[in-house]
Structures are given as structure tokens and as C-alpha cells.
Structure 1
């Protein structure tokens, strides 16, 4: 049984990583699963989705482009350097593979788990599997709508019966995300067959999946801060009270292996392409705060022994990493974890929500808890180091501003959650992301993809990525 689980993981990882290198036009229809998984059991589908989502949805192109947009990293070579110079970001091929992974792989598999495990399905009574699939579906659909705005949702999963699904409004999708998470919580509470080790995230721990669902609810309520400042804050705090209670609950994938097909995608990108260097914005920010995470997370340049950030938007090519710094092995290795949501993020959400409700004391307490949890998660910081660092930060709730919270979230999201930092920047404007080398500010969304334009062009919204925000950002739909 152990061998089968391991082989399933390697097979899934191999499919993911090879998909990232294939031509963008390989998949030209959404909702088409080339593996025809109707006869695949839940015990095989579960490891597939619990490795595919952290890797192909969270860990590749959307993250890599977002990273240079938010100045976690800088483009040192190739496409990421072009992204830093704002060249070609309107192209429909930029993140085509992520769209295909979501709509031709992940969502069909999740819908199949829900169908097979629910009443009337071939493995009815598998309520825990269904609950997990609904949590993951909510997370995946949120990534899609946050990246592109209006996307297909209500009409997906119908296969050959509906090849050209309509694009739903982001407002309706966000309501559906909350409904999915509510259903997931109810399904998890029903019990039944436990996926155990085939669940590569929480190993079938129902309590942790339930906390993850509540924590995601808090994230997605808080995302609506521009739509309903007070209501979103109240709803986020209510959900957060049932979410993660410590870092032990973190929604994290930690099953990467030191093998060619099982490595962390960021590690593989670093070895195969090396298109990133650490941004000078990240280096200078942490240096200015005397943040102990800087020396723990960023390497000195070998030839000088000095930590040196790459200026975003500069023309210098440093694919060989001889002039500018890379992450340390403390952060980036073949077997690094991939966080999808963490306890420290939840505390920062609580801090921001309380600040919107004028609960200054509660906001400050949550803010300090978020900073402490992030420092311990990222570098194993001691209590003494954390206390010393607090001297560089706001000293009271009265002094705390939204910008302070988002800045610390931005640091906490480095290196593997830049897409969430990108969402925060679009929502709040923090931190500021313009410097003297850049042609323009980052785009406000990602361009719709080649495969979808080819297969469903009549339904694809016509948007300008540098001026048209998504609904939760500018309060308008496409």
C-alpha cells in the first residue's frame, strides 16, 4: 500500500512537471480530461488532486509572474525579465498552462470526486473525500477568478455536453466559493471513509481540513474589503475564530522529494531556468527593518560575500547568479514545503479586519501574533529575536496602519505565496511597486489564455490588463 501511494505521487508529479514544458496548444478544450477518469477510484484521485493543486495551481507560472510583479523577486533572465520590463504581458500564452491545468485537469478531477463520493455515486458515503474536494475546489476556483476576473464556473464539468461554458461574474463566483466551503464543512462533519495517506496534505485529518475551510472563508471574506468594508471584516473575523489555532494547522503541502520528477517547482525552476533573483526591494526593506529573516533567507553573492538584490526592471542578465542574490536553502530546496494558507496569514487577516472595525487593541494583538508566527515558520526565529524585531515596528494599536499589516504579510508571503501578495497589492495598493527602471505598474490581472480564446472565444471577456481591475478590486465586472 505504501509503495502504491508513492508511485501515485510520482506519477502525478511527473504529469505536472512535464505539462509545464509542453506546447501551449496541447490542450485546446476545457473540461476535457484526456485520461477519461470515470473508472478511477477515489483512492487514486485523492493523491492526484492533493499534489496537483499545490504544484500546478499554486506553484508555477501564476506565482512566478506574481513574484516579479510584487517585487519579491526580479526577472534576471528570459520571460521573467520581460515581465519585469512589462513586455508581452498582454500575450494570451503567458499563463496558458495554468488555465489548462485548472480547467482540463484539476476541476474535472475534483468534480468527479464529489460526484462519486456523494449520494448516488459509485462510492457514496465518502463524505470526507467530498468535503476535501470541495475545499480544494473553492481554493482553485478562487485562484482562477482572482487571476482572470470572470471565469467559467456554473457550466464547467459537463464534458462533451457543453464545450463552450459561459463566464460567470466574479461576484457570483465569490458567493459560490463561500457556499462550497460551507458544504465542505458539513460534509467533513458527516464522517465516513477516511482517505488517510492518499490525502497528501493533511492525511485525512478532518479537524485540520475543517479549520482550513474556515480559514479560507476568512481569506475570501477579507478579499471583499473594497466591496463591503465593515461586513467583510465582521464575516472574516467570525470565520477566523473557527480557523487555524496554531502553525500546526497550516494548509501546506510537504511531500516533495529529491528526485527529478518530485522536486519543489520553485527549486526545479531555479535549476532549469534560473529566471529569478531576489529583488532589491525585498533586500532593502528587510535591511531597513533590521529583519533577521534577511540573512537567513537570502544568500550573499559568492564573489563578494554581500547580499545584493536585483533591481526590478533592470536590463542586466544574471542567469548564472554571479551578481545578485538567490534564496538560501533554508527557504528553497528540493523538498521545501508549499504553503497554500498559514496561521500567520490568518492572524494578519484578523488584524486588518479589526482595524477596519476600529478595534485597535485587537488589531495590534493579531498583528504581533502574525509577525511572530511568520518569523517562526520562515526561519525558526527565537522569542528573543522576535521581541527585538518588534522594536522596529508600530508600538501600539493607535499607531498601526493597514500599510504596516500588508507589509508584514508581503514579507511572510515570500517566496512561495506571491500570488496572494499580488492580490493584496491590487486590493490595498500596498506595498508600493514602482521604481525607476519600470515602464509601468504591474497589470491588474492576467490575460485570458490562448487555449480558451481558441475554444470559447465568443464568451471570453474583452479586457485591458493594465486598466481593468477585477470586481473585488474596482467594484466593476468585465
Structure 2
């Protein structure tokens, strides 16, 4: 009986406690007095832009492209990663950009965020940045959840959109963004990339459109030509190094260059033998700008006058190169300057694209492939501080012949721009790169596989994606990679 009374007592206590909690008004006790009460789109934009270094300094494709290799602990240079997660993109910058677009599009919140720039300009910039991120992602994985993404519990298992449909979406997204830019109204706050210069954002969008157009030229030549020529007609492509689009870092630990961070306590990256010997064989003066002389060794082969290239030594790709002082490092300026900028779109890159387009017979403004090819080399040499005399000598020894010449020179000019170099190498199948002999599977990857959780948590849509894209591994070619 005493146990029964004890039980009833506990029930009464819990009932009273529950009732008390249900009726007490705690007011603003749990409110953060320092927190925002409305969406702060300037912070969302700044946070999303801070993810650009994850693209422009993505070491994995740089290692694939044999610009550099690894020291004592080889990983990506041996193609060791088998699956890669895209989750951080969806829950991070893409979600931030979606929120900017939502807040500026909804009549109930649009007026609240006007303090951070005009609604149309905020939407335009958010769409351009979102297109840039999504383009990187689809060229990395291929098909992606998109049209049914971001629906939360309403659809936790979204379908995969084909890469072709994603490209179609991206072209439409860029066109809409360009149509929304209003130079007479305030630019978005939080834009530390261009400091509110809307014409630079229009240039960014057109350079992205040009890049995408050339990427699909083997599978949708008609659409590719149309979009490419539209970008040319805009007059906003990067045509000189003064107009290069770059990501500028800060000097503190929270905003400095990832390269600077990589070398603060370790020396994991050294020049690839492939890059060093390619430059040496072609008497390319960029050799002396792309690398530092090795500290503890010299090359057994020299080809420049007076053996001036003896100190430049490349390491075998994927080998355990524990004796890193025997090899050349990246330029000291890149390694030790915390705010050394990273290129996003450069004059050399654009001029090589124009040269290829001219060779296809597309309208590039009246110039021809050979002239644009030479101008691209000049732009690359100028960017790296090569003299006009040395540049002229190099061009005289390496005249334009065909697309193979463009492919090689573009690979050289895209030094340390891994995602673009990787994408163009896949599209053009040039230059010829020998896979690492130290890899378990000696094939250079042509895409990244999805994280294993995708097959477990979204099996039906994952299986459907496999049916139209192909096996989920590192060697299934993407939609535009048909050569």
C-alpha cells in the first residue's frame, strides 16, 4: 500500500510541475539581446563568398593535374580518395544564397532587407555566386539533387537532376541575374569580393557563361556557340591582366590564403616532375616563376643556357617523397604571403578559350585562333613577370598549330587552378599525362564519386541516377566529357 501512495505522489508532483511549465510566461528570458531579429543578408553573402577558396585552392585536382605532388604522405596524388561528400555545400553557402534570394523575393521580407542593398541587386549577385558554386559541383560529381533539393522534411529524398539539365538551369540563372542588375540602385552589402562594383559582377557572370559554353561544345555545339558569342558580345570578358578576377585574402589567420596555412607547420607540397620537365623541355621561362630552386639537390639534366635550370627539381607523382628539400617548392611569394591572391578568371584563360572558339569558326570579335593563342601566352607570361623578349622567343619557338597546342598551353597557364585545369584536361584529353605508378588504380580520376551515405539514405533516386549517368566511381565520364 505504501508503494501505491508513493506512486500516486510522484504522479501528482509531475502533473503539477508540467502544469506550471505550461502556464508560466518566461517573457524574453531565452532571447539573445545581441542577436539579429531579422535576416541579415550582408552576413549571408559574406559567409558564402568565404567559400570561394575551397574551389580556387582545391588541392586534389591540382595534384591530379600534376602541377604539384605530395611529400612524405601521398594521398590525392595516388587517387586514394574513393568517395567525396557534397553535404557542406548544401548546408553551407548554397543555403545562405538561397536565403538571400528568398528574403529579397518575398513581399513580406523584401522591405526589411533593403538596408543591405536593392532587392534586385542582392538577388542577382546571389544567383551569380550560386551558379559559380553549382557549376563547380556538377563538374566534380555530375548529376546532383537540385530541382527537389532544399525541401526539408517535405522531401528528404530528392531526385538527381542530370548534368545536362543542371547546365540548362545555370544558363537560365545567369541570364536572369544579368537582367536584374541595376546600376542605379545600391549594390549588396557584404560583397568583399568586388566591394559593390556591379560591373565586375556582370563580368564574373559572363566569364562563367563563356567557360560553361566551351565546356559543352562537344555535346551541344549549337547552344555552346550561342552562349559563348553572347558572352563575347557583352564586352565584359577578362581581356587583360588588369581585369583579372581574383580572390583576395586577408592577413590574419581567419582570412589568409590556404597555401599560407598549408606551409605554416608542414611542407607537404612540392613541384611535380611532370610540370618541371615540361617547362624545362620547352625552355619555358615560367619555370623560374612557378618554382623555387631545390635546397639540397640539383637536376641531372639541364637545357637552359649555362645550366641555369639545374636547381629546379620535380618529384615523382604519388611517391613517398619524404626528402622534400631535394625538390622544388612552389614560389615563396605564394607560400609565405598570407594575402597573395588566387585567380578565378584570367586574361590568359579567356584568350585561350577565344582561340579555341575562333578555330571552331565562332564569332569572337574578328580575331583569329593564332593571334589569340599568342595573346594568351603573352597574358600568362606577363602575369608571372616574364620579360617581353623572353616571351617573344618562347612564342617564336612554339607557334600555333592546332587544338593540342592550346590544350598544352592552357594546362601550363592554369597552374595551381586545379578545378579548371582538371575540367579542361578531361574535355580536351590533352595534354597527355601519365598516371602515378604508385597508385593502386593507375588511372587519373575523371569525376568524384558520391559519399556512401547517399546510396544508403536515398537508394531509389541513387539507383535511378546510376541508370542514366553510369557507375558511381572515379572513372565514369561526365555528360560533356565525350572524347
In structure 2, the partner of 1:202 is: 194
Greater mean alpha carbon deviation, residues 217-226 or residues 331-340: 331-340
- In the superposition, the TM-score normalised over structure 2's length comes to 0.80
Q: 1:331 to 1:287 in 2, by over 3 A?
A: farther
Confirm or deny that 1:372 pairs with 2:378.
Answer: yes
Q: 1:68 to 1:56 in 2, by over 3 A?
A: closer
1:165 alignment partner, SS class? coil
Confirm or deny that 1:220 pairs with 2:212.
Answer: yes
Q: Structure 1 residue 223: deviation in Å?
A: 0.2
Q: Structure 1 residue 114: deviation in Å?
A: 1.2
Partner residue of 2:286 out of 280, 286, 293: 293
Q: Structure 1 residue 183: deviation in Å?
A: 0.9
C-alpha distance in structure 1 between counterparts of 2:64 and 2:99, whole Å: 35
Preserved contact between residue 310 and residue 324 of structure 1 (Cα < 8 Å): yes
- The alignment's C-alpha RMSD in Å is 2.5
In structure 2, the partner of 1:280 is: 273
In structure 2, the partner of 1:235 is: 227
In structure 1, the partner of 2:481 is: 473
Confirm or deny that 1:429 pairs with 2:439.
Answer: no
Written as runs of structure 1 = structure 2, the 5 A alignment for 1:116-155 is: 116-118=103-105, 120=107, 121-122=109-110, 123=113, 125-155=118-148
C-alpha distance in structure 1 between counterparts of 2:63 and 2:438, whole Å: 11
Q: Structure 1 residue 39: deviation in Å?
A: 3.8
In structure 2, the partner of 1:73 is: 68
Q: 1:58 to 1:163 in 2, by over 3 A?
A: farther
Preserved contact between residue 258 and residue 334 of structure 1 (Cα < 8 Å): yes
C-alpha distance in structure 2 between counterparts of 1:272 and 1:188, whole Å: 44
Greater mean alpha carbon deviation, residues 283-292 or residues 353-362: 353-362
In structure 2, the partner of 1:56 is: 54
Q: Structure 1 residue 165: deviation in Å?
A: 1.8
Written as runs of structure 1 = structure 2, the 5 A alignment for 1:16-31 is: none
In structure 2, the partner of 1:449 is: 451
In structure 1, the partner of 2:247 is: 253
Q: 1:264 to 1:436 in 2, by over 3 A?
A: closer
Q: 1:315 to 1:355 in 2, by over 3 A?
A: same
Greater mean alpha carbon deviation, residues 235-244 or residues 149-158: 235-244
Q: Structure 1 residue 370: deviation in Å?
A: 1.4
C-alpha distance in structure 2 between counterparts of 1:386 and 1:37, whole Å: 55
1:262 alignment partner, SS class? coil
Q: Structure 1 residue 184: deviation in Å?
A: 1.1
Partner residue of 1:393 out of 389, 398, 407: 398
Query: What do residues 282-302 of structure 1 show as CA deviations (whole Å, max 9, x unaligned)?
Result: 111111222221112201111
Q: 1:426 to 1:193 in 2, by over 3 A?
A: same
Preserved contact between residue 300 and residue 307 of structure 1 (Cα < 8 Å): yes
Preserved contact between residue 68 and residue 270 of structure 2 (Cα < 8 Å): yes
In structure 2, the partner of 1:310 is: 315
Preserved contact between residue 426 and residue 446 of structure 2 (Cα < 8 Å): yes
Q: Structure 1 residue 384: deviation in Å?
A: 2.8
In structure 2, the partner of 1:330 is: 333
Q: Structure 1 residue 46: deviation in Å?
A: 1.9
Greater mean alpha carbon deviation, residues 161-170 or residues 240-249: 240-249
C-alpha distance in structure 1 between counterparts of 2:103 and 2:243, whole Å: 28
C-alpha distance in structure 1 between counterparts of 2:259 and 2:405, whole Å: 28
C-alpha distance in structure 1 between counterparts of 2:87 and 2:260, whole Å: 22
Confirm or deny that 1:84 pairs with 2:82.
Answer: no
The structure number with the bigger radius of gyration is 2
Aligned length: 418
Q: Structure 1 residue 457: deviation in Å?
A: 4.2
